[in-house]
Structure 1
Amino acid sequence: MKFSLFICIILSLALAANAFNINSGNNFVGYWGQNSAAPGGRPYQTELGTYCTDNTYDVLIVSFLINFFSGENIIGTNIPAPTLNFANMCGGTYPGYSQLLQCPNIGSGAATCQSKGKIVLLSLGGAVGNYGFTSSAQATQFAKTIWNMFLGGSDSTYPRPFGSVQLDGIDLDLEGGPKEYYDVFVNTLKIQYFAGASKRYYIHAAPQCVYPDAMVGPWTGSALSTGKLDFISIQFYNNWCGLASGSQFNYNTWSQWISANSPGTKIMTARPTTASSTTTPATTSSTSTTRPSTTTTTTTRTSTTTTTTTAPATTSSTTSTTVKPTTTTTTTAPATTSSTTSSTTVKPTTTTTTTTPATTSSTTVKPTTTTTTGPSTTTSATTSSSTTSPNTLVFTQSVTSQWGSNPPTSQISGQVKNNGATTISNPKFSSPQNAIINGMWGLSQDANGYWVLPSWANTLAPGQGVEFGYAINSATPATFNRVA
């Protein structure tokens, strides 16, 4: 899961911006769009263009397009329009539409960034949303929709929420939903649209370090298996294979597959950085990168915290906060990497705003906490939540944002971790709140309605954990009890 709605502050020198060069090994990537904020609820996100005034960022990723197919069609067609969510930005809807946002300031900000040699991508997915394909035809059509609404297309049937600006490509932040047909989507963009374009367009993705990633691949039919992704930022944190995992750090596994099967794809190894107080505009986490002498790029991340920043007076008063605990430590790239240039990536993990026809609103609260010890005891406190189930598997959950009332809808970020001394395989959990849990990622339900770990991480060694998240129609997190 990506670390969403928090701040990464980078103090940079006032240098003239250089043009983005994917082969330089010295790139810094930032995710923008989810109103990065520390606890306390003040909006820190400013207009996109303010993050392109110096040499800090090489790539800005606008986050997120959360639904591939919304409930309204593109006018005059039977083609579903997508849903956008940019927290406190973009309050109005596109003329003739009740849900599709119109975001001219994002368009002008993107143009500003491009004029300074940076590239701007649109992130598809996020931790909360409804996305994925059920057929090859759907994937092909969605590629056409993305091309004409946000990239180099000129079909006037399609609305352009950012105006005439042509973004530089897309990011795949895939954290749930159907995983099939992304190969069709990527191939359609690359072959049918990007190949004959007047400028270069890019496709980026952010798989977890667990190999292969459940959504991105590589496996037959995945986006990565096409060999056409330009660069990936592997999340070497919050997993057993991360930078802090010693001998289990599996960079070489990814590097070997890329070298043999997709040599044009650059690798960045992602790690969160520490945010600090500053007046410099900033939005998300950062990554430092070391790049081997092969064509891959690796990135590392330090531990993540968030701190207070003062937003400019022009910032909208609508706020949204999601803070996801991340604890990793810095490790260098494998000793087998020969040359060391550096490259960086920054990334969020959760979308948590609510969009209404004329406004985008989201109410931020300080994280609430519930602590549950044992299968049936629950006590309320004030910051996070943990459930011990029964002795060695521990659930830790935080309410990262809330909106609405009677009851409110809460966005939950959590982790289940093996705190025992022995390996645990295929555990199952029940929850009395199943009926009010929505959009679960990281855990799935079996045929009997029990929550189970993902297939790629269903065995937890001591100290290993799996992250998950969901929305719930309640002010507090759900309770999970181990049944097997």
Structure 2
Amino acid sequence: MRRAASVLALVALISVFLAGPAAATGKTGQVTVFWGRNKAEGSLREACDTGTYTIVVISFLNVFGHGKYNLDISGHPVAGLGDDIKHCQSNGHLVYLSIGGFGNGYSLPSAKAAEDFAEYLWFTYLAGTRPGTHRPFGDAYVDGIDFFIETGSPANYDVLARRLWNYNKDFRGRTPVQLMATPRCKFPDRQVDRALATGLVGRINVRFYGDGYCAAYWQLEWEKWTKAYPDSQVYVGLPASEQVVGYVHPKNLFYGVVPVVQKAANYGGIMIWERYADKQSNYSSYAIQWA
């Protein structure tokens, strides 16, 4: 684990001599964080109030596709979360809901299952309203859906993406359903490539961590992702904990990684995994300066 992380650090340091310090021209100021993975991370409102994130992703809705649904936010109380969402949004933050995660309780066995799931998301968590529908966040609604598909069949996520996007046609001047995906770094990620092929996913968080290969060849994979989806904003996903393979020391982030990723015309920003680890390391305080 440590060895893989050190490989990435070495590659990043070599880039110092090739690229020099980060150029301001490629900065977007965008930092995304995943929230909901540890109850000790604090509230969603607290995360937004740090001032170091522009997008917060609630994770995960980890059971779907077979008539059952479950939101797992690691013991955080759902009561009051709607007010936190509205607080974050009123201060300029986007809030997404991530579907999938690391369990095996989800899949979309048919196009009908995908259509039903899209309808569920629209009326339960997004801007749709329907009498008699229980909304866990009350009258608050998230800005979009993130596809974090780690397990199961990749089938029908393209159907889900199109169906969700279709709700936007009734709204002029705004997009109540924004789509995001968080694939593994090795290109392509077969779990989400059908959804990405729709051309409807506006933000892609590529996970450059948890994989020794990615720690060594991150630049090669970054180029593949940015070239494959020129109309999407591509974020470089990094862990906030140095215990995770692929951790990049802040100094190496500034001198080695940022100058490389900001050369891409569709560079979106930095994604941080995840809020609890970031609360311990304060990694985002560096990221927000250089993103």
Q: TM-score, with normalisation over the residues of structure 2?
A: 0.75
The one-letter code of the counterpart of 1:236 is: F
SS at match of 1:254: helix
Post-superposition offset of 1:338: 6.5
Q: 2 CA distance for matches of 1:160 and 1:234?
A: 30
**Equivalent residues in 2 for 1:194-273, closer than 5 Å:** 194-197=168-171, 199-200=174-175, 201-217=177-193, 222-239=194-211, 241-245=213-217, 249-259=220-230, 263=231, 265-273=232-240
Q: Do structure 1's residue 343 and structure 2's residue 269 form an aligned pair?
A: yes
The one-letter code of the counterpart of 1:33 is: G
Structure 1 unaligned regions, length at least 5: 1-22, 36-42, 71-79, 91-102, 275-303, 306-324, 350-484
1:208-243 CA distances to partner (integer Å, 9 max, x unpaired)? 1111102011xxxx1111011010011123335525
- Relative to structure 1, the CA distance from residue 342 to residue 251 in structure 2 (aligned partners, 3 Å threshold; closer, same or farther) is closer
Q: Which has the higher contact order (CA 8 A, sep 6+)?
A: 2
Post-superposition offset of 1:273: 2.9
Q: 1 CA distance for matches of 2:75 and 2:102?
A: 18
Q: 1 CA distance for matches of 2:222 and 2:148?
A: 20
Q: Does the aligned pair in 2 maintain the 1:209–1:236 contact within 8 Å? A: yes
Q: 2 CA distance for matches of 1:231 and 1:338?
A: 14
Q: Do structure 1's residue 326 and structure 2's residue 255 form an aligned pair?
A: no
- Relative to structure 1, the CA distance from residue 341 to residue 186 in structure 2 (aligned partners, 3 Å threshold; closer, same or farther) is closer
Post-superposition offset of 1:197: 3.0
Q: Does the aligned pair in 2 maintain the 1:125–1:175 contact within 8 Å? A: yes
Q: 2 CA distance for matches of 1:83 and 1:60?
A: 20
4+ aligned runs moved over 6 Å, structure 1: 338-342
Partner of 2:6: none
Partner of 1:152: 127
The one-letter code of the counterpart of 1:273 is: A
The one-letter code of the counterpart of 1:255 is: T
SS at match of 2:147: strand
Partner of 2:114: 139
- Relative to structure 1, the CA distance from residue 241 to residue 267 in structure 2 (aligned partners, 3 Å threshold; closer, same or farther) is farther
Q: 2 CA distance for matches of 1:336 and 1:27?
A: 12
1:121-140 CA distances to partner (integer Å, 9 max, x unpaired)? 11101102411111111101
Q: Do structure 1's residue 187 and structure 2's residue 162 form an aligned pair?
A: yes
Q: 1 CA distance for matches of 2:119 and 2:266?
A: 39
Q: 2 CA distance for matches of 1:155 and 1:176?
A: 31
Q: Does the aligned pair in 2 maintain the 1:244–1:328 contact within 8 Å? A: no
Q: 2 CA distance for matches of 1:235 and 1:139?
A: 25
Q: 1 CA distance for matches of 2:117 and 2:268?
A: 35
Q: 2 CA distance for matches of 1:337 and 1:24?
A: 10
Post-superposition offset of 1:339: 7.3
Q: 1 CA distance for matches of 2:245 and 2:104?
A: 22
Q: Does the aligned pair in 1 maintain the 2:208–2:236 contact within 8 Å? A: yes
How many residues are paired up? 241
Q: 1 CA distance for matches of 2:266 and 2:197?
A: 27
1:311-352 CA distances to partner (integer Å, 9 max, x unpaired)? xxxxxxxxxxxxxx4244444254892679872212359xxx
Q: Does the aligned pair in 1 maintain the 2:233–2:267 contact within 8 Å? A: no
The one-letter code of the counterpart of 1:160 is: R
Structure 2 unaligned regions, length at least 5: 1-25, 276-291
Q: Do structure 1's residue 46 and structure 2's residue 42 form an aligned pair?
A: yes
Q: 1 CA distance for matches of 2:130 and 2:27?
A: 35
- The structure in which a higher percent of residues are helix is 2
The one-letter code of the counterpart of 1:344 is: I
Post-superposition offset of 1:88: 2.1
Q: Does the aligned pair in 2 maintain the 1:65–1:85 contact within 8 Å? A: yes
Q: Does the aligned pair in 2 maintain the 1:210–1:239 contact within 8 Å? A: no
Q: 2 CA distance for matches of 1:107 and 1:335?
A: 35
Partner of 2:12: none
When the two chains are superposed, the root-mean-square deviation of aligned CA atoms in Å is 2.7
Q: 1 CA distance for matches of 2:220 and 2:114?
A: 34
Q: Does the aligned pair in 1 maintain the 2:96–2:143 contact within 8 Å? A: yes
**Equivalent residues in 2 for 1:14-33, closer than 5 Å:** 25-33=28-36
Q: Does the aligned pair in 1 maintain the 2:214–2:246 contact within 8 Å? A: no
Partner of 1:419: none
- The structure in which a higher percent of residues are strand is 1
Q: 1 CA distance for matches of 2:272 and 2:100?
A: 16
Provide the identity percentage.
26
SS at match of 1:229: coil
The one-letter code of the counterpart of 2:109 is: T
The one-letter code of the counterpart of 2:225 is: W
Q: Does the aligned pair in 1 maintain the 2:35–2:57 contact within 8 Å? A: yes
1:15-62 CA distances to partner (integer Å, 9 max, x unpaired)? xxxxxxxx9722111111121xxxxxxx52222111222421111111
SS at match of 1:250: helix
Q: 2 CA distance for matches of 1:268 and 1:152?
A: 26
Q: Does the aligned pair in 2 maintain the 1:216–1:224 contact within 8 Å? A: yes
Q: Does the aligned pair in 1 maintain the 2:233–2:268 contact within 8 Å? A: no
- Relative to structure 1, the CA distance from residue 339 to residue 253 in structure 2 (aligned partners, 3 Å threshold; closer, same or farther) is closer
- Relative to structure 1, the CA distance from residue 335 to residue 116 in structure 2 (aligned partners, 3 Å threshold; closer, same or farther) is closer
Q: 2 CA distance for matches of 1:335 and 1:108?
A: 35
**Equivalent residues in 2 for 1:83-482, closer than 5 Å:** 83-90=70-77, 103-191=78-166, 193-197=167-171, 199-200=174-175, 201-217=177-193, 222-239=194-211, 241-245=213-217, 249-259=220-230, 263=231, 265-274=232-241, 304-305=242-243, 325-329=244-248, 330=252, 331-332=256-257, 334=260, 337=263, 343-348=269-274
- Relative to structure 1, the CA distance from residue 178 to residue 165 in structure 2 (aligned partners, 3 Å threshold; closer, same or farther) is same
Q: 2 CA distance for matches of 1:338 and 1:136?
A: 35
Post-superposition offset of 1:108: 0.9
